[in-house]
Amino acid sequence: MALQCGIVGLPNVGKSTLFNCLSNAKAQSANFPFCTIEPNVGVITVPDERLNRLVEMCEPKSVVPATVEIVDIAGLVKGASKGEGLGNKFLANIRETDAIIHVLRCFDDDNITHVDGSIDPVRDKEIIDFELQLKDLETIESRMARTQKQAQTGGDKTAKMQYEVLCRFKEALDKGKPARSVALDTPDEQKFARELFLLTDKPVLYVCNVDDASAATGNKYVEAVRQAISEENAQLLIVAAQTEADIAELDTYEERQEFLNEIGLQESGVARLIRSAYALLNLQTFFTAGADEVRAWTFMRGAKAPQCAGVIHTDFEKGFIRAEVIKYDDYVNLGGEQGVKEAGKLGVEGKEYVVQDGDIMHFRFNV
């Protein structure tokens, strides 16, 4: 199953408007595809100028871009951790995702009622944080009850490490801090933390939904959010969801770009959001390029050449011999593969090569 980002937020913050913008092909360019797996799941192309440039150079018969899955999760209400509203479904849906896009209302509009009667994105953030933290505390305390005796009396080093990690998580959660604020020092601690599937340990991107006038510069609400998350190891993005919806209604790419220029933006917030979601999932792209096909392949940051070969086909990984690697800039500047070879810039790498974002790869294998 592909990695997914879940869009969360209180009711009426612009969450579904933003998701609908992602679903509209006109929001970015003429060939910005979107399809639906389920009613609330979208598979969305990742905008990448490098892919466009390779297509121009190779003029291939087919093009396959990278994609990211976005899930629109039902709005949360207070008491979700105790099952209020759609609380149980909401929390279950978040648990199934790999990262969170948290939409916060950062605009005034008397025509759109706020569920709590006033505009305060920091308060809204804390409502959802509180519900997620309560659920994580349940998980932690349940696990501690099973681990404590073994850690303290059994002489089990693994149990002791796990109990210490659980205590650090509990301390943070008791202070109202997310699990991701806890620094984990060793690979074993990090592996154990992943196995807990804590809701507040997931990487998060806060999307401040602003009005048209604040799309380029932000506003006082955005600054309040920025201050609130300063110690949280989280990212922030400013998007005007209604503006994005208006852009999506324009017929041509030129009209959309002119609209963006008028409000001081070089590209749409949707494009920035998709790339941010891709990065939030710790994903990068390598390419294969030729006359038959130019394709963007998705891999986890830090993966080595055989693992990336396996993204194409499991046989490539099993029988991996070597990888021929061209750096994207060399490919473009030297006029393609032949020019790279003539300049002596074609790299030949073995099993320990860590693939870099933008590499153009050709794998040699034998099965």
16-40 average pLDDT score? 55
Angle ∠(279,284,290) on CA atoms, nearest 5: 140
pLDDT in the model for residue 25: 38
Q: Residue 62 — pLDDT band, cuts 50, 70, 90?
A: very high
Cα gap 18→207, rounded to integer Å: 10
pLDDT in the model for residue 148: 84
124-147 average pLDDT score? 90
Answer yes or no: is pLDDT of 26 > 60. no
Higher pLDDT, residue 158 or 353? 353
Answer yes or no: is pLDDT of 212 > 90. no
223-233 average pLDDT score? 90
Answer yes or no: is pLDDT of 79 > 60. no
Q: Residue 75 — pLDDT band, cuts 50, 70, 90?
A: low
Cα gap 244→260, rounded to integer Å: 9
Answer yes or no: is pLDDT of 324 > 80. yes
Six token digits for residue 194: 């992943």
Q: Is the pTM of this model over 0.75?
A: yes
pLDDT in the model for residue 34: 43
256-277 average pLDDT score? 85
Answer yes or no: is pLDDT of 320 > 60. yes
| Sequence-distant (≥ 6) Cβ neighbours of residue 12 within 8 angstroms | 75, 105, 112, 113, 114, 115
Answer yes or no: is pLDDT of 15 > 90. no
91 near 135, Cβ under 8 Å? yes
